[in-house]
Structure 1
Amino acid sequence: MKVLFAASEAYPLIKTGGLADVAYGLPRALHDLDTEVRLLLPAYQDILDLVTEIIVLGGLDIWGTGRNHRIRVLETHHPAFPFPVWLIECSTLFGRHGNPYMHPHGYDWPDNAERFTVFCRAAAQLAGDALGLGWRPDVVHAHDWQTGLLMGMVETLHPRPRTLFTIHNLAYGGHFSRAVYDQLHLPWHWWSPEGVEFYGGFSMLKAGIAYADQVTTVSPTYAKEICTPQFGYGMDGLLRSRAYKLHGILNGIDDSEWNPRTDKFLQPPYGVEQVIEGKQANKKALLERYGKTVTPEMLARPLLGLVSRLVEQKGIDMVLDVIPTLLAETNANFVLIGSGHSYFEQALNNLAARFPERVFVYIGYNEALAHLLEAGSDLFLMPSRFEPCGLNQMYSLKYGTLPVVFHTGGLADTVVNATPDNTSAGTANGFVFYTPSQQALLGTLRWALSLFANNPAQWRQWQKRGMTTDFSWEQSARRYLELYQ
């Protein structure tokens, strides 16, 4: 089977979020299951600076906003991918450094509609073998709003490939005006409530939902949630009407990068057999990274970790509210890594200044520190108000760090509350609260810290369960193959 995997980002070439991790992990897993993959990306300047060997496959004239763009289709090979990566090169649209969607001053690129329409038009032509390469995909798999139009554009191909569209986060719909739609010369018959029209403008993501043969999202629970007004962003009615083709498939994690047995950032790596000693050693290394002289008493204290974007969706406001209370009531320490809204960044820095021996903060993202935090923490804080899939809770489980999560999306699909019934059934692996509030989070953390202090044997069982669960991409890839077929 041949699959054209079209996305706007893929780790390690370009990354802003979880989409990049999926565009890295899933096609690799598909390749391992004997699928012939071509990964298609825009040729951002940062990607061109990263790759070395480039072959020009050919050129195409693609209509944009009132003008034709001469684009080149490039092929490159990268050690991260065991198959060719194809790039759509158009320097006027993609030859920019930094975030692929936003200007350095923080606003969306004003030509985003044109950029990703051109990308989709080029992808559709490649799916029709416009360059005469002798390679036609059986399936075109597109991701998020940036590739939504592609699902409609391949309708005119003969033979037409099967199509699958994956929603990674419905909150980002790719919304543009009717004027932009007309300037792009998109098909007139798409303009309807059953097509791309959305409250007077149009949505590229809606095009993906409307025209794809199959639609997936990144966890079973999120597939249900987006069919409700609370999580549907105005598309819940459309999604309910397309429920026959909507599927929730849980993302996997890259267990070559996130594996405590082989993790190059750990001091030392460890397996389930050495979880106590391994986590203690890494807790010590983590605290020393913050310049602390670590005593046995400090190591005995529970350590609560967080790696997150500092935005309300992630529940960081709830975390900030409960930390002072827990510092007063318990002997817990906190390590927090993240960046986002300046208000939350400053609030975290203020906490670290007030409690320099108990609250340790890193503003930004540091890969080595994030791995060390997963290994050295006892509890991982992930109280997202909504979370389509989430990866950090799965990382935490693999590292023997019990997650504390709100019951939503992929968090609900991966973390099983440590109630007596779930513990007796052998399924418990973390702590779950069911109302997105400070009080609910605080109560759950009090309960978890009490169990940490008073029931170490049971804690080890919960750790073992998480560490031995298979979160690899292979299971997800097999589900996608079923849909492709």
Structure 2
Amino acid sequence: MPFAKTGGLADVCGALPMRVAESGNRTAVIMPAFRSIRRSGIPIQSTDISFAVPMSPQKLVGCRLLKSTLPDGETPVWFIDQPQYFDRDALYGTSLGDYGDNDERFAFFCRASIMAMARIGWPVDIVHCNDWQTGLVPAIMKADPNLPETLRDASSVLTIHNLAYQGHFPRESFAWTGLNWRHFNHDEFEFYNHLNYLKTGIISSDVITTVSSKYAEEIRTDEHGCGLDGVLESVSERVFGITNGIDETIWNPSSDPNLTTNFGVENWQFGKTQNKTALQERFGLEVNPDMPMIGLIGRLASQKGWDSIVPVIRRHLQENRPTQWIVLGSGDARYERELRELASAYPDQFALHIGFSDELAHQIEAGSDMFVMPSLYEPCGLNQLYSLRYGSVPVVTPTGGLANTVVDCTETSLGDRTATGFYIYTNDPDGVDAAIGRALEMRFHHPDGWAQIVTTGMMQDWSWTKSAKEYVQLYAETIALKVPPKRKLAK
């Protein structure tokens, strides 16, 4: 999504509508007019559509619609322009915490989106909502006696991108929904005497999807259910997993303008060596094409497994093992401090960039020999898909989307040519080190097997076109039945 981004949700909202439209469907996106849309450099048009949302008997909040398109130039994006709520430095909060009025902000957005759909004038078959910020939409569609005519026969789909973020608010926040308080009950809005936007969306949606089939299973367990496992188990017959895709026009090593040398499956050895050398020279690492380079990109947060990987990096550096490391990310100050200390102490073996650089992310994927993701949980994950595409062998925890997209290298998978990476069997420093050790042993001592793993990964199809076909199938079944589909989609 070129207008606003904090994670994988933006990638889905930017790519999926375009791919669904390519199959002959009419799609559009509705999102808040965050401050970032005006910084995107993409033309934004004014419209003559404006209206007011009664947020309480004493509070009427007006807004207008702005309009642009996704990069395909055809799929419209409608923005709910309400500066009081959305013209802020960040989307959901600052380093000090979430905005204190997020309940009101996103109740307004949900209600305004429904009113906007009526005023845009398109017939609506499916309303596809994403995460807690839109969790009230399916509920309002079911409970509002004044629902616009254009939405009365529409079905709703809710995608959970990360169950840990739920939109949990005091019961008093229910007033912002505009509905009768009789709907504040356990079967609809109420959750332990609070209002939980995501729980509300789960209960009221016709279909719930997650961003991988493994994650769809995991969130119904106590370990990964984040308190909503019971709710999800109660609607399990309408929970589906569809793995996210990647934009292969942007993430394509044969045409990527960010790379020193472009390459494909037929010349990856040469291409990756050239890009590795460029990274080594840029960061002052020892220039050695035979030295395995291990890449890591992402948030420096405990969920991403940094408590396990930092000791492994330190161990490799202190013992002068034949590896180089390159890290791109930001987050927890403790991890940033530890990584800075390692980069200072071992400048010829460890490269660090605190912050984010899209250009550097592409270059790391192209120059690394392997990419480590020791996540404690990972609903889908995208970096492992980029890594497969760029020939950077993923070393991952078999959780969520990582388990669905990476095939562990075993004697069997190597023999039938399906292996694409290495699993971390126990997510602690020793377990991470052991998985990296297996990968290094293959690279140093079985180069033909390593080459097979790289090429098998590069030939995988994890495009959005593939994922969009599954969504179109799900939409069609939901519309046709007007009840949850009964058969599971293919993984």
TM-score by length of 2: 0.92
* Partner residue, 2:64: 72
2:213–2:243 CA contact under 8 A, matched in 1: yes
Q: Deviations over 1:447-470 (max 9, x none)?
A: 111111111111111111110100
Structure 2 residue 307 is the aligned partner of structure 1 residue 317: yes
Shift of 1:383: 0.6
Q: Deviations over 1:265-296 (max 9, x none)?
A: 0111100111100000000111122144x54x
Shift of 1:80: 5.0
Amino acid at match of 1:412: A
Equivalent position SS for 2:322: coil
Q: Deviations over 1:371-429 (max 9, x none)?
A: 11001000101110000000000000000110000110000001111111111122110
Counterpart Cα distance in 2 of 1:302 and 1:434:
22
Counterpart Cα distance in 2 of 1:245 and 1:116:
25
Structure 2 residue 192 is the aligned partner of structure 1 residue 163: no
Q: Aligned in 2, Cα 1:183/1:126: closer, same or farther, shift over 3 Å?
A: closer
Amino acid at match of 2:122: W
Structure 2 residue 265 is the aligned partner of structure 1 residue 278: no
Counterpart Cα distance in 2 of 1:289 and 1:253:
28
Amino acid at match of 1:360: A
Q: Deviations over 1:20-46 (max 9, x none)?
A: 011111111111111111110101122
Shift of 1:90: 0.7
Q: Deviations over 1:301-346 (max 9, x none)?
A: 1110000100010001211111122231621110111100010001
Equivalent position SS for 1:16: coil
1:28–1:81 CA contact under 8 A, matched in 2: no
Q: Deviations over 1:154-191 (max 9, x none)?
A: 22434331110000000000000012223554442332
Q: Can you give the 5+ residue segments of structure 2 that lack an aligned partner in the other structure?
A: 477-491
Counterpart Cα distance in 2 of 1:62 and 1:342:
41
Q: Deviations over 1:226-257 (max 9, x none)?
A: 00011101110111110110000000001111
Q: Aligned in 2, Cα 1:357/1:329: closer, same or farther, shift over 3 Å?
A: closer
Equivalent position SS for 1:182: helix
2:284–2:348 CA contact under 8 A, matched in 1: no
Of 72, 81, 102, 1:112 maps to: 102
Equivalent position SS for 2:263: coil
Counterpart Cα distance in 2 of 1:153 and 1:182:
13
* Partner residue, 1:134: 121
Q: Aligned in 2, Cα 1:68/1:331: closer, same or farther, shift over 3 Å?
A: same
* Partner residue, 2:75: 83
Greater alpha carbon shift after TM alignment, 452-461 vs 72-81: 72-81
Of 100, 107, 113, 2:91 maps to: 100
* Partner residue, 1:121: 111
Of 193, 199, 207, 1:206 maps to: 199
Shift of 1:261: 0.6
1:286–1:369 CA contact under 8 A, matched in 2: no
1:12–1:80 CA contact under 8 A, matched in 2: no
Identity of paired residues, percent? Answer: 39
Counterpart Cα distance in 2 of 1:57 and 1:144:
30
Counterpart Cα distance in 2 of 1:201 and 1:33:
41
Structure 2 residue 410 is the aligned partner of structure 1 residue 423: no
Q: Aligned in 2, Cα 1:49/1:430: closer, same or farther, shift over 3 Å?
A: closer
Counterpart Cα distance in 2 of 1:278 and 1:425:
26
* Partner residue, 1:146: 133
2:425–2:435 CA contact under 8 A, matched in 1: no
* Partner residue, 1:370: 361
TM-score by length of 1: 0.93
Counterpart Cα distance in 2 of 1:359 and 1:76:
43
Of 6, 28, 33, 2:23 maps to: 33
Of 213, 221, 226, 1:220 maps to: 213
